[in-house]
């Protein structure tokens, strides 16, 4: 009698165990040795366009364009030699610099603004934000051009 009860209990336990194992199990792929795991691709953020890539009409901040020419020992803006240039704090500044005579550049140290050095007939452009108020010198850093008079005031109000 004890054997019959034991056999019945064993059969019940086995049947319950078999029923529980009958669930579908998703098989995981087995990675062969030596094959690196694939990296999960994260969405790539589109790079933000540079200021020069944005049409002027679509710029979110005001941009002031200043056309400057470099001549022997002077800068010229709108026909005026070494003029005082005034801008507002926070303005985006675009300096369009052309050398009409000689080898020159345009530099404002305090605003980290510096064009490339260009020779006669060549042009270069820099853009920067006038991020602090004050009166700063703009000058040509080539040779003795600054001490020879190639300097002016750049006022940020």
Q: Which CATH class is domain 60-156?
A: mainly beta
What is the predicted pLDDT for the residue at 62?
Answer: 74
Name which of 116, 114, 69, 63 is nearest 93 in CA terms: 63
- Bridge-based pairing state of the strands 63-71 and 151-156: unpaired
What is the predicted pLDDT for the residue at 66?
Answer: 97
CA distance 157 to 83: 16
Cβ-based burial of 44 (10 A; exposed 0-12, middle 13-18, buried ≥19): exposed
Q: For 83-109, write each residue's pLDDT tens digit.
A: 999 999 999 999 999 999 999 999 999
Q: For 103-123, write each residue's pLDDT tens digit.
A: 999 999 999 999 999 999 999
The residues of the chain scoring below 50 in pLDDT are 48-49, 59-60
Token digits for 64?
């002031």
Sequence spans of domains, the chain: 60-156
What is the dihedral sign for C-alpha 140, 74, 152, 79? negative
């Amino acid at each position: 009698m004890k054997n019959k009860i034991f056999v019945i209990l064993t059969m019940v336990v086995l049947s319950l165990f078999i029923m529980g194992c009958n669930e579908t199990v998703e098989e995981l792929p087995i990675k062969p040795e030596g094959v690196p795991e694939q990296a999960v691709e994260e969405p790539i953020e589109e790079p933000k366009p540079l200021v020069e890539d944005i049409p002027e009409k679509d710029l979110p901040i005001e941009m002031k364009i200043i056309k400057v020419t470099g001549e022997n020992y002077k800068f010229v803006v709108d026909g005026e030699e070494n003029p005082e240039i005034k801008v507002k704090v926070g303005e985006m500044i675009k300096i369009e610099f052309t050398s009409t005579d000689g080898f020159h550049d345009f530099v404002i140290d305090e605003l980290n603004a510096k064009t490339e050095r260009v020779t006669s007939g060549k042009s270069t452009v820099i853009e920067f934000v006038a991020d602090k108020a004050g009166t700063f010198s703009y000058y040509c850093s080539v040779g003795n051009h600054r001490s020879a008079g190639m300097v002016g005031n750049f006022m940020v109000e």
